[in-house]
């Protein structure tokens, strides 16, 4: 792509996050050349809204754009789209830049960077510590891992998507930080749920209790974002309980590799796992962990 001009952009994975990132980039003058999603409906909708082509294959995505943003769900999806054989983003990828936004195991980013290099392309991770509204408004909190030179090449585009942009270090390091952020966030979320659940069991006024929490050592960001939702059982999905479980397990797997035992993170992961086992991991936001802690709610009846 020519210096100073805006690169043509494509998206792989246009669920709620990817779709809103695409709309944001379109708004600020980027051409969304192609979109691809395993759910054809998602792709069709975003193609309509942004004027992008629906790419029939991954290699067609790469052919259509200078920069490909990927927002897929997990390690396996990342390995699939960057496969060494078959339909792959790496086909004809020489000179292209991949910006990988999924929260996945840090080593997957290291491996994808290596495969991209082998194909003459560049890959960085852009880990997002924010949600859908921020994607739409271009105010994401972005942490970048990978080669500094690649970051510099796409910095203008990343700035158009973010309110805070931070280069962390080599491939995998931004994903490590992201896993830690979500591990701690999940602990605070599950802990808050237990506090409110016990408050309810004691007959305390939960609005009062949240107010006291906010003014004391119990205060946290999740109290602000999830406390009222827990009280009102408003678990509309922004960040699903299943995603929370996945991210806690990424962190726990890093801990195991490092020979560290993290019992509070472990107990938290088991709570989110239980929501999955109850069949409600995808349909509840992470605030839904409160369903396990409130005596009056159905999920808690199935507690061990």
Q: Which stretches of the chain bind a second copy, using CB under 8 A?
A: 129-130, 141, 143, 164, 166, 168, 173, 176-177, 180-185, 187-188, 190-192, 194-195, 197-199, 201-202, 204, 208-209, 212-213, 215-222, 225, 251, 254-255, 258-268, 270-271, 293, 295, 300, 303-304
C-beta of 265: minimal distance to a second copy in Å? 5
Comparing CB distances to a second copy, the nearer of 51 and 164 is 164
Comparing CB distances to a second copy, the nearer of 84 and 267 is 267
For residue 151, give the 3-state DSSP assignment: helix
Comparing CB distances to a second copy, the nearer of 40 and 163 is 163
C-beta of 7: minimal distance to a second copy in Å? 28
Q: DSSP characters for 23-91?
A: HHHHHTT--EEEEE-SSHHHHHHHHHHHT-EE-SSHHHHHHH-SEEEE--SSHHHHHHHT-SSSS-TTT
C-beta of 270: minimal distance to a second copy in Å? 7
Q: How far is it, in rounded angstroms, from Cα 255 to Cα 251?
A: 6
Comparing CB distances to a second copy, the nearer of 52 and 190 is 190
Cβ neighbors of 149 (< 8 A, separation 6 or more) are: none
C-beta of 84: minimal distance to a second copy in Å? 28
Comparing CB distances to a second copy, the nearer of 84 and 264 is 264
33 φ, ψ to 5°?
Answer: -80, -35
C-beta of 144: minimal distance to a second copy in Å? 12
Q: How far is it, in rounded angstroms, from Cα 111 to Cα 96?
A: 17
Comparing CB distances to a second copy, the nearer of 71 and 177 is 177
CA contacts within 13 A on the Cβ side of 236? 7
CA contacts within 13 A on the Cβ side of 58? 23
Q: Calculate ∠ Cα 278-79-178, nearest 5°.
A: 65
Comparing CB distances to a second copy, the nearer of 8 and 255 is 255
C-beta of 192: minimal distance to a second copy in Å? 6
C-beta of 208: minimal distance to a second copy in Å? 7
Q: Calculate ∠ Cα 279-291-131, nearest 5°.
A: 80
**Is residue 89 within 8 Å of residue 98, measured between CB atoms?**
yes
C-beta of 288: minimal distance to a second copy in Å? 15
Q: How many Å separate Cα 142 from the centre of its chain?
A: 11
* Among 184, 183, 178, 180, CA closest to 166: 178
Comparing CB distances to a second copy, the nearer of 15 and 141 is 141
């Amino acid at each position: 792509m020519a210096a100073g001009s805006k690169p043509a952009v494509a998206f792989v994975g246009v669920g709620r996050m990817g779709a809103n990132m695409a709309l944001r980039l379109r708004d600020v003058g980027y051409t969304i050349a192609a979109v691809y999603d395993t759910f054809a409906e998602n792709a069709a909708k975003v193609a309509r809204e942004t004027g992008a082509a629906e790419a029939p294959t991954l290699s067609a995505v790469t052919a259509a754009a200078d920069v490909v943003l990927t927002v897929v769900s997990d390690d396996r999806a990342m390995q699939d789209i960057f496969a060494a054989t078959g339909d792959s983003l790496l086909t004809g990828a020489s000179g292209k830049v991949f910006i990988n936004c999924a929260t996945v195991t840090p080593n997957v980013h290291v491996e994808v960077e290596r495969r991209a290099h082998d194909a003459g392309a560049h890959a960085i991770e852009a880990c997002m510590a924010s949600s859908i509204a921020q994607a739409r408004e271009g105010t994401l909190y972005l942490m970048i891992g990978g080669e500094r030179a690649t970051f510099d090449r796409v910095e203008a585009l990343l700035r158009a998507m973010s309110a805070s942009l931070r280069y962390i270090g080599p491939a995998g390091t931004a994903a490590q930080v992201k896993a830690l952020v979500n591990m701690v966030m999940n602990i605070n979320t599950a802990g808050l749920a237990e506090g409110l659940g016990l408050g309810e069991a004691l007959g305390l006024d939960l609005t009062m209790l949240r107010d006291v929490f906010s003014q004391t050592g119990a205060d946290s960001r999740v109290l602000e974002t999830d406390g009222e939702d827990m009280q009102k059982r408003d678990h509309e999905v922004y960040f699903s309980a299943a995603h929370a479980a996945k991210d806690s397990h990424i962190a726990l797997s890093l801990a195991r590799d490092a020979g560290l035992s993290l019992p509070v993170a472990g107990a938290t992961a088991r709570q989110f796992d239980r929501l999955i086992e109850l069949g409600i991991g995808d349909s509840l936001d992470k605030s839904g962990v409160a369903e396990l802690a409130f005596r009056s709610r159905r999920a808690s009846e199935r507690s061990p």
